[in-house]
Amino acid sequence: QVQLVESGGGLVKPGGSLRLSCAASGFTFSDYYMSWIRQAPGKGLEWVSYISSSSSYTNYADSVKGRFTISRDNAKNSLYLQMNSLRAEDTAVYYCASGAGSGYWIWGQGTLVTVSS
Amino acid sequence: QSALTQPASVSGSPGQSITISCTGTSSDVGSYNLVSWYQQHPGKAPKLMIYEGSKRPSGVSNRFSGSKSGNTASLTISGLQAEDEADYYCCSYAGSVVFGGGTKLTVL
């Protein structure tokens, strides 16, 4: 069935790095823009980044620009988020989702990233 | 970009209708018909309920409808049911993406 499965979350110290992955199945991954969206504990949704279907275009929220890098491997049906220089305020559940803002049709279950010393 | 403005909470009784507003600016909500709405139950991933302002994905009840006037988009839920109790988020796309702060719907 159609699904997205995130992995790679965990506990990391401030200033550290983490790489999130998102495995897609059940749909033609290479046809879709893909995005990362996060939700801090008890807070609302915050868009992080999106990438075009061919990786030719990326966009980032100001809060992560210069620290996070989105990428994808269409041969592996996978989406990635490289997170560097992590801060306490990056603590959140990170969701991958299909689309780029006009409508996020498919969501993963999320992976928790905790930035703490 | 600043977050879109939603009421923190709304409530209604079973069978009633409620409307959740989502106010942006002429640079996002007002410029494009690219507002989407999401339902999120506790501990679950969000679910797309409305896209492109007023379109419903297959499988979403026709009790959910979306509209827009100027810089404000709205989600209306008619015939409220207990399972509609959830958090609702609006989202606007205008090159970058911005979400509303979320609205907690309580079914009394």
> pLDDT of A1-60, one tens digit each?
999 999 999 999 999 999 999 999 999 999 999 999 999 999 999 999 999 999 999 999
A45, A50, A57, A111: which to substitute to probe chain B, counting the most B Cβ within 10 Å? A45
The pair of structure tokens assigned to A91 is 């603590």
- Report the alpha-carbon distance of residue B76 to residue B54 in Å, rounded: 10
Quick check: B39 contacting A, CB < 8 Å? no
B3-59 pLDDT, tens digit per residue, is: 899 999 999 999 999 999 999 988 888 888 899 999 999 999 999 999 999 999 999
Which has the closest alpha carbon to B99: A97, A16, A52? A97
Instruction: State the smallest CA–CA distance between residue A110 and chain B in angstroms.
Output: 7
- Residue-wise pLDDT for B14-26, tens only, equals 999 999 999 998 8
How far apart CA B45 and CA A7 sit, in angstroms, is 15
pLDDT band per the 50, 70, 90 thresholds, residue B1: low
**pLDDT class of A95 with cuts at 50, 70, 90:** very high
CA distance A102 to chain B (A): 5
Put simply, the answer to whether A47 touches B96 (Cβ < 8 Å) is yes
